[in-house]
Structure 1
Amino acid sequence: MRISGKTAVVTGGSDGIGLEIARHLKAAGAGVIVVGRDPGRLAAALAEGFDTIAGDLSNAAGCDALVGALAGRPIDILVNNAGMGATFDVNAPFDLAEIDRCIYLNVNAPIRLIAGLLDGLRARPEAMIVNVTSGLAIAPSAKGPVYCGTKAGLRSFTMALRAQLAGTRVHVLEALPPVVETRMTEANPHNKMPAPECGRQIVAAMQAGRKQANVGMTALLNAVYNVSPAIARRVMIRY
């Protein structure tokens, strides 16, 4: 896809991977609308030259409000990047409300935004939906069952959506990052990919028209999984 001249919406775009995707899209000539919740980070994004929309996508009202705010605007690219983790440990207390927010933000919100914006995307000469899942969508880790489950669900949805939109002007890309250096992964002891490089690789995959972007070490995980799903699962369940 030629990025220059396109208008992109990036959810969770005021921080982490989303902000780096937005920066690389802007550098490639796109007009970028950054969606986020934190007023300070949105103000910083506005100062960088992005359009911004404040929104909480962890509930139906927030998703519908974003679709309404975008009504009438020619959107060529939708990047569903917003996401969160939630603790679920059978040996410790957990917050069911937080788990519900995680499931909604990671799975329901992308589906709801696609449903609300699809007619507009189909009307564009060339359009793209980018769903950011995770290497953990390929094989889960016992440390994050809810997060892994939501990303695996979004991965399956993305594959089926791509098949439904085959032959149309709407291209569907799944981006699968490894562990990336963001606020969400501060407590993760593993080596982390710098967020700018992750964003660069995702936008490069968009420009190349790829169906799947296995970013960083996710490429190795995907290769192992293709040879032996059992080995990939055994390795990652302890990750």
Structure 2
Amino acid sequence: MQFAGKVALVTGGTDGIGRQIALQLQALGAQVIVTGRDPDRLSRARSEGMETICADLTGSAGVDAVLQTLSGRTIDVLVNNAGMGAAHDFRAGMPDPADDERTLWLNVHAPIRLIVGLMTALQARPEAMIVNVTSGLAIAPSAGAPVYCASKAAMRSYTQSLRAQLKATRVHVLEALPPLVDTAMTSERGGRKLSAQECARQIVAAMRANADEANVGMVRALKAINQVAPWAVRRIMIGF
């Protein structure tokens, strides 16, 4: 897909991977709309020429606000990037059910609701694209983040089914699977991290190529190993 003149909505587009995707799409000529919650980050996005929607997508009200704002508007690209993790590890203490609920809403319910709400607009375009950002942990889970892993695995499954449904239409479906990326969400994590800018570059390259998947960074190796020895991947990732 070529992005000059296209209208792209990037959820969670004021920080991290989403911000870098938004900036790179804008550099390619797209009119970019981003969602976010932080007033300062939203203001920065507006100063950079992006349209902004203040919305908390961890509940239905935020999704409704986005859909109401975009009602009747042209949308060519939907990037479901916004996501969060929840501490859900009984070895460290009792999980907070409210955090689990927010995680499931943001990572699963919100992107599906946005896809349903914007599908008519997307199908009306000569070409359109849906990008669902999942995770390498959608392939094999880690023990320490079961709710996050489950939410990303759910979106991976949904994305594959959606792609099959829309195969004969003008709406292309891409799944992006990042590795551990240097963002606010991973600030307390150690280990080797990919930069948000490089992660976004690989995702946008896959978008331009109309790829089905963007296996980013080390996820390429993970996916290759999983095809021949899934038991090995599960053993490695469960302790991640």
Is residue 2:144 matched to residue 1:137? no
May I ask how many residue pairs the two structures share in their alignment? 239
Equivalent residue number for residue 51 of structure 1: 51
Is residue 2:25 matched to residue 1:32? no
Amino acid at match of 2:48: E
Equivalent residue number for residue 155 of structure 1: 156
Equivalent residue number for residue 184 of structure 2: 183
Equivalent residue number for residue 77 of structure 1: 77
Give the CA deviation at 1:4. 1.1
The 1-side partners of 2:156 and 2:131 are apart by 11
SS in 2 for 1:2: coil
The 2-side partners of 1:70 and 1:45 are apart by 18
Give the CA deviation at 1:210. 0.1
Amino acid at match of 1:64: D
The 2-side partners of 1:57 and 1:171 are apart by 24
The 2-side partners of 1:54 and 1:221 are apart by 36
Q: Deviations over 1:176-199 (max 9, x none)?
A: 000000000001111000100111
Give the CA deviation at 1:200. 0.7
SS in 2 for 1:231: helix
Amino acid at match of 1:6: K
Give the CA deviation at 1:72. 1.4
Q: Deviations over 1:135-186 (max 9, x none)?
A: 0000111111110000000000000000000110000000000000000000
Is residue 2:123 matched to residue 1:126? no
Structure 1 segments, 4+ long, off by >6 Å, are: none
Equivalent residue number for residue 17 of structure 1: 17
Amino acid at match of 1:4: A
The 2-side partners of 1:190 and 1:139 are apart by 18
The 1-side partners of 2:211 and 2:100 are apart by 32
The 2-side partners of 1:176 and 1:164 are apart by 21
Equivalent residue number for residue 208 of structure 1: 209
Q: Deviations over 1:2-42 (max 9, x none)?
A: 11110000000000000000011001110000110111111
Give the CA deviation at 1:95. 1.0
The 2-side partners of 1:74 and 1:157 are apart by 24
Amino acid at match of 1:66: V
Indicate the RMSD between aligned Cα atoms, in angstroms.
0.6
Equivalent residue number for residue 65 of structure 2: 65
Equivalent residue number for residue 109 of structure 2: 108
SS in 1 for 2:86: coil
Amino acid at match of 1:210: A
Amino acid at match of 1:5: G
Amino acid at match of 1:14: T
Equivalent residue number for residue 238 of structure 1: 239
The 1-side partners of 2:2 and 2:168 are apart by 18
The 1-side partners of 2:131 and 2:5 are apart by 18
Amino acid at match of 2:196: A
The 1-side partners of 2:119 and 2:185 are apart by 30
Amino acid at match of 1:56: D
Amino acid at match of 1:117: L
TM-score, scaled relative to structure 1: 0.99
Amino acid at match of 1:216: G
Is residue 2:223 matched to residue 1:229? no
**Unaligned stretches of 5+ in structure 1?**
none
Give the CA deviation at 1:127. 0.2
Give the CA deviation at 1:93. 2.3
Amino acid at match of 1:16: G
